[in-house]
Amino acid sequence: MRGDLVVIGTAFCYLALLFMVAAWGDRRAEQGRSLIGSPTVYALSIAVYCTAWTFYGSVGRAAQYGPSFLLIYLGPTLAMLLAPFTLRKMVRIAAQQRITSIADFISARYGKSARLGALVALMALVTITPYIALQLKAITVSHAVLMNYPLGADTTLDNERFWMDRSFWIAMVLAVFIILFGTRHLDASERHEGMVAAIAVESLVKLIAFIAVGVFVTFILFAGPAALFAEVAATPALMNSMRLDNVPGGATGWVGMLVLAFLAFFTLPRQFQVLVVENVDEQHLNRASWLFPLYLLLINLFVIPIALAGLLLGEGDPDSFVLTLPLSAGLEGLPLLVFIGGLSAATGMVIVETIALSTMVSNQLMMPLLLKVKGLYSGRHGRLADWLLNIRRLAILLILLLGYLYHALIGDSYSLVTIGLVSFAGVAQFAPALLIGLYWRGATRQGATLGLLAGFFIWLYTLLLPGFAQSGWLDEALIIQGPWGISWLSPYALLGLSGWDIYTHSLFWSMLANVGLLVGISLFTRPTPMEQTQATLFTEAMHPHLPTTARWQGQTSEGALHALLVRYLGEGATLRVFTDPHAILNDSEAYQRPASSELITRAEQALSGSLGSASASVLINSVLRGEALDMESVLTILDTTSQALEYNRRLEQKSQELARIGEELRSANERLREVDRMKDEFVAMVSHELRTPLTSIRSFAEILRDTPDIDAEKRQHFLGIMVLESQRLSRLIDEILDLARLESGRLSLKPVPVDLTHVAQQSIEALARLHDEQGLTFELQVEASPAMVLADPDRLEQVIINLLENARKFADAQQPNIRMRIYAYDNCFRLSVEDNGSGIPPAERENVFEKFYQLKLKEAPQIQGRPKGSGLGLPISRAIIHHLGGKLWAETSSLGGTAIQLELPRHTV
């Protein structure tokens, strides 16, 4: 059953199936019915993160280093949590600028620098080659394990001629496969919908295969997790296998690895390809931000049970436990499924990584070189689209050959995980230029270039070189004693920093140099106008009013632009840029017509999508006449836009403020009118009030003057009235003066501690005679004595007398009854004067404190027979009590009439 033919046949069938899925996806995309327009497919395509390294290596790492394998997946989980802040921005920029790869992204950010793009592409090539080698190794080893079990797998990797080596043929098959569906056309968007669909299928296959092994090992090989863990508990050697002590570098190593996985998730070329370049809708990031971590969790769920089971049963190399455990049980089908799962994981990674790398090689390395060759774009050559595709095809072949070479020459001495982590640390060097450049406008090309170079060389020295030494290519003394015996230069303990695990150590030094140089150099260099423009376009990408056109100030004809596009992109793509290309070809006038800046921008974007932004910029410049680029003006536009927005926002704020102030003014005006009206009324009333006694005095005086012989008794009576009326007049004038002083704040009160009860009693005595005359019932309830308050005694007495007088006037005419109560309330003393009159309706209660209010009452016909008063008593009383820090208000009395409440704060010595 487990014949070579069956295994290889199944593998080819599987690859053929993938190819069909990819072809179907591409056809659907051409028909405009995209297969990958679903957030779930997007999340599954991101799972290309889980390579053969996850599939076989996780178990190996868990067996050796305990729970540290989880860090490789917790880092991306954190990164996906931050997707709305980082990845969303990257996706939007990539869509605006037609970014084709991470090298293109970094190059575009730093002023479309061709050199920086080439540097990133080269670095990616160096760091990713071992990773591709790892996948080839995984396929070869898993195949060998499948074929040779229960013998060891070592026999396959021999030093025979390469055409006898299976890995070589695997690499070649994969190369053909990738060329077939990765470079079908040189599309403007550089999207590979078919590939993404195939990757999503592969992600499902590897997940199902891994969970199948997990379920088999946990529930069939052992009778459930409880039984497995019980057996582990009985094995002392495994007691500490899942503790932190087992993690290389302990807590420091833990954090280092978490950071490493976090950064690498953004910068691995294949992750950038599926996350950013292949993204069709930025809303898909929402679903992916939890579905992808869930995928990671599921694929890791059974890693520990499998690792522990493998260790218990002693099944050889931990990296192969996934295969050897079902094999040891004598199964046939499951190992084949596992092999296909591993193949899925490996091919998925190799496909995407190779396509990403080949795009970088053609756009960032080859195109700038080709453009330097004189005359290449001057019009003598035919269209270059086919050239580019061929370059890409060649690049795919070369990349896989390079991977094979690495695998054949060095890969044998490393475990899967080690190679993977070395690559991680390498690509993590892109993170500062990428992430800092995304948020800090001041990062410059020189800073990014030097930071990248420094980080890369430290990585080379502290991780890659020692790897060569361990493979026997270099003297191993280099690691232990340092070069030329200089111990502080030792690659694993640079400057004497020892005790950390090698990855954290390398990450620390390389990031220190990388970030340090990026920030430091940027602070002391001036960006070119192009850099400034691009920096603004990147950092302000989420700005809702970011202009994307009007970049080109130079002049060119539509015909020249058309010829350029046809030469590099072919007729099909040109058709999408020009709305009516036939008119241009047939009409010589249209051919000469100046191209609009929108058209130039569209043309540049189309070129960027296929050739990379740096080359597109060079090409467009080649057909522009005169002032090619005026970046300053773009910058001005950008600044003006953001200024205008800011200005707009402020204006809106101001107008709201104005509206509010207007409203306030209107109500103030309303109040003023009311006050003015009241003042007029007041003057009228005062005059009226003054005239009444004055008229009376005058008429009696006239009688006395005109009637000299009036009898003495009558004269006495008239004179008495005149005295009374003038007393009333002077009292009125006193009150008006009081009120004026109170209202203008000129009244001087002399507050001293007095006993409220004592003052009240004095006032009652002053009025006692009046009360007796009227036959009035007076009750006094003193519940607090002494009731010390701070007040002017004369004024206080004036107030109380006024209250008592009012009560007397308004009390029931037949059986007048007044009650005064003095009591403590909270931190105050209160004095209430109640009568049994008809009371004041609640709506009118505040009005009685208005000046001359009772006069107004008099005008109302339904309230009759009010005794006359000046109408100033209560307003004056309230003003005095307010001056003393108290309150005066009206309530309903329990006697049926009104209760006027006076409250003054308690005085404490």
Partner 1 sequence: MNPLSASSRRRERLIALALLALFMFCPPMLLMIDRLPGFLGWLPLYLFIVWAVLIGFTAWLVEPSKRP
- Where do contacts with partner 1 occur on this chain (CB under 8 A)? 66-67, 70, 74, 77-78, 80-82, 84-85, 229, 232-233, 238-244, 251, 254-255, 258, 286-287, 289-291, 293-294, 297, 301, 304
Could you tell me the two tokens for 369? 């070189």
Could you tell me the two tokens for 907? 């005085």
Report helix angle 4-30 to 333-360, nearest 10.
50
**For partner 1, the closer CB: 247 or 880:** 247
**For partner 1, the closer CB: 135 or 203:** 203
**For partner 1, the closer CB: 49 or 131:** 49
**For partner 1, the closer CB: 204 or 239:** 239
**For partner 1, the closer CB: 294 or 523:** 294
CA distance 742 to 797: 17
What is the nearest approach in angstroms of partner 1 to the Cβ of residue 435?
A: 15
- Smallest CA-to-CA distance from 732 within 866, 860, 847, 876 is with 876
What is the nearest approach in angstroms of partner 1 to the Cβ of residue 293?
A: 5
What is the nearest approach in angstroms of partner 1 to the Cβ of residue 565?
A: 39
What is the nearest approach in angstroms of partner 1 to the Cβ of residue 80?
A: 8
Instruction: Classify residue 565 by burial, with Cβ atoms within 10 Å: 0-12, 13-18, 19+.
Output: buried
Which is it for strands 828-835 and 788-791: parallel, antiparallel or unpaired? unpaired
What is the nearest approach in angstroms of partner 1 to the Cβ of residue 49?
A: 15
Q: How many CB atoms lie within 10 A of CB 514?
A: 28
Q: Which helix (H) or strand (E) holds 902?
A: strand 898-905
Could you tell me the two tokens for 47? 């799972």
What is the nearest approach in angstroms of partner 1 to the Cβ of residue 242?
A: 5
What is the nearest approach in angstroms of partner 1 to the Cβ of residue 252?
A: 8
* Residue that the structure tokens 């990026």 belong to: 518
**For partner 1, the closer CB: 301 or 389:** 301
CA distance 828 to 906: 5
**For partner 1, the closer CB: 233 or 409:** 233
**For partner 1, the closer CB: 16 or 239:** 239
**For partner 1, the closer CB: 281 or 681:** 281
Across 437-474, b (16+ Cβ under 10 Å) vs e yields bbeebebbbbbbbbbbbbbbebbbbbbbbbbebbeeee
* Residues recorded for the chain: 909
**For partner 1, the closer CB: 84 or 842:** 84
Report helix angle 166-182 to 4-30, nearest 10.
20
Q: Are 787 and 904 in contact (CB under 8 A)?
A: no
What is the nearest approach in angstroms of partner 1 to the Cβ of residue 288?
A: 9
Q: Are 804 and 818 in contact (CB under 8 A)?
A: yes
What is the nearest approach in angstroms of partner 1 to the Cβ of residue 58?
A: 12
Q: Which helix (H) or strand (E) holds 892?
A: strand 887-892
What is the nearest approach in angstroms of partner 1 to the Cβ of residue 238?
A: 8
Q: Are 476 and 469 in contact (CB under 8 A)?
A: yes
- Smallest CA-to-CA distance from 442 within 538, 585, 351, 348 is with 538
Is the sign of the CA dihedral 84, 86, 91, 97 positive or negative?
Answer: positive
What is the nearest approach in angstroms of partner 1 to the Cβ of residue 297?
A: 5
Say which residues have a Cβ less than 8 Å from residue 348's Cβ, sequence separation at least 6: 48, 51, 198, 199, 202, 203, 206
What is the nearest approach in angstroms of partner 1 to the Cβ of residue 65?
A: 12
**For partner 1, the closer CB: 293 or 437:** 293
**For partner 1, the closer CB: 78 or 211:** 78
What is the nearest approach in angstroms of partner 1 to the Cβ of residue 499?
A: 16
**For partner 1, the closer CB: 151 or 297:** 297
Would you list the DSSP string of 778-811?
EEEEE-SSS-EEEE-HHHHHHHHHHHHHHHHHHS
- C-alpha distances out from residue 563 to 295, 510, 553, Å: 48, 47, 20
Q: Around 162, how many Cα atoms within 13 Å sit in the side-chain half-sphere? A: 12
Q: Are 139 and 342 in contact (CB under 8 A)?
A: yes
- C-alpha distances out from residue 284 to 87, 289, 297, Å: 11, 9, 20
DSSP state at residue 748: P
**For partner 1, the closer CB: 220 or 294:** 294
CA distance 377 to 673: 83
CA distance 27 to 626: 44
**For partner 1, the closer CB: 220 or 233:** 233
What is the nearest approach in angstroms of partner 1 to the Cβ of residue 254?
A: 7
CA distance 168 to 162: 7
What is the nearest approach in angstroms of partner 1 to the Cβ of residue 239?
A: 6
Question: Counting runs of H as helices and runs of E as strands, what totals does the chain give?
Answer: 38, 7
What is the nearest approach in angstroms of partner 1 to the Cβ of residue 51?
A: 20
What is the nearest approach in angstroms of partner 1 to the Cβ of residue 544?
A: 11
What is the nearest approach in angstroms of partner 1 to the Cβ of residue 320?
A: 22
**For partner 1, the closer CB: 287 or 576:** 287
**For partner 1, the closer CB: 229 or 853:** 229
**For partner 1, the closer CB: 288 or 614:** 288
DSSP state at residue 211: H
Q: Are 806 and 869 in contact (CB under 8 A)?
A: yes
- C-alpha distances out from residue 784 to 798, 824, 886, Å: 21, 6, 17
Q: Which helix (H) or strand (E) holds 634?
A: helix 631-706
